A and B are shown apart, each in its own frame.
Chain A
């Protein structure tokens, strides 16, 4: 015996000799797609376990979405930090070049015009680098805020811990900004903030030792500051990149969890009821029915019920 043959047999018996025409119509109606969907929706909403699991899956989907946004943001931040490191490396090299030209001016290798040209260009490059560092610091602040948002979302959603490594420890500290601030805070601040292009205009000649030494100290201070900032930018880029990797892994873990929850919800619906639990449920329902005056069906259904076992 197989289902198709027996189903056909049932369908045939419904529509043939036993005055079940109206019942068969009703049955067909109740088995129609819209009715089935409606019943499924009713049952879904009526199954607390399945509903709870699906709600968790929905919440986790939201967390995953947040993670993916953070991945994109952190990736962007990592690239920005990497770009800043490259720029600072170039600035550091330019600082060394400026020191060499300054030394060459002292020995007569370069003229005043050449010194002025090189130092003026260098000053512009240095200012650009500072602007870039400021932008990176701002982005890092944004990323730090984003990390906190993510942590909040994660902790509220079923203890999905984002083990961010550097993300959750020192990695997102604004080392670049901190390096700059420490430079500004120290005694060299007046030197590093000097405008070399103006200082060089005051130089009277290769033997203007005081003016040249002052420029040399500025360049030396800047070289130290830029080297520190470059190292910080590289570290920041790596930290953000590690954070991206970690978040990607966490996101994949959340995806697996969502899939498991969806499967669990499906299984909860399909296997939650067995003989024992059905028996228990029918006993409880029997008591509830005894305590109420309610009936299942309406008046319009009574005629069909009367016909069913006539």
Chain B
């Protein structure tokens, strides 16, 4: 087993063992990392594929969140639900705008939101619950 395989295997184990808030924070940060990587090497070889990959994964992530949040039996606090849904709409627009007119600025605001939400999810003052 070389180092690369070993790291990938480790990441897979981490992914499969995380649940609930920790998993959500994890994927938010992973998406932010992908977007950050696109910005860091903006315009370099493979840029377009990286951009599309990062955007499409972020879109999927937020569609999963949106779909979960609008479920009537989702017990999450109503204020949080409203805030996150509004943020998701903002992110939707930013992602589509970036596709239409690629600039790194819009991605920065998304990265910021991801990191803020992940910080909140990783900092629980109460026992975690999920449905």
Contact = CB atoms under 8 A, between A and B. Distances in A.
A28 B71 CA distance: 16
B4 interface: no
Nearest to A14: B56
Given A289-B121, A302-B19, A296 B84 contact: yes
The secondary-structure label for the interface of chain A is helix
Contacts of B11: 310
A132 B67 CA distance: 69
B36 interface: no
A294 interface: yes
Contacts of A275: 109
Nearest to B124: A293
Interface in A1-40: 1-3, 6-7, 9-10, 13-14, 20, 23, 26-27, 29-31, 35, 38-39
Given A284-B83, A290-B123, A26 B131 contact: no
A290 B128 CA distance: 10
Interface of A: 1-3, 6-7, 9-10, 13-14, 20, 23, 26-27, 29-31, 35, 38-39, 42-43, 46-47, 273, 275, 278-279, 281-299, 301-302, 304-306, 308-310
Could you say which interface size class chain B belongs to?
35 or more
Nearest to A310: B15
A286 B100 CA distance: 30
Given A281-B86, A296-B24, A14 B120 contact: no
A54 B55 CA distance: 34
Contact of A38 (B12, B70, B77, B96): B70
Interface string B74-97: 111101111111110110000010
B117 A289 contact: yes
Interface in B42-71: 48, 52-53, 55-57, 59-61, 63-71
A308 B100 contact: no
**Candidate in A31, A281, A294 with the most chain B CB atoms within 10 angstroms:** A294
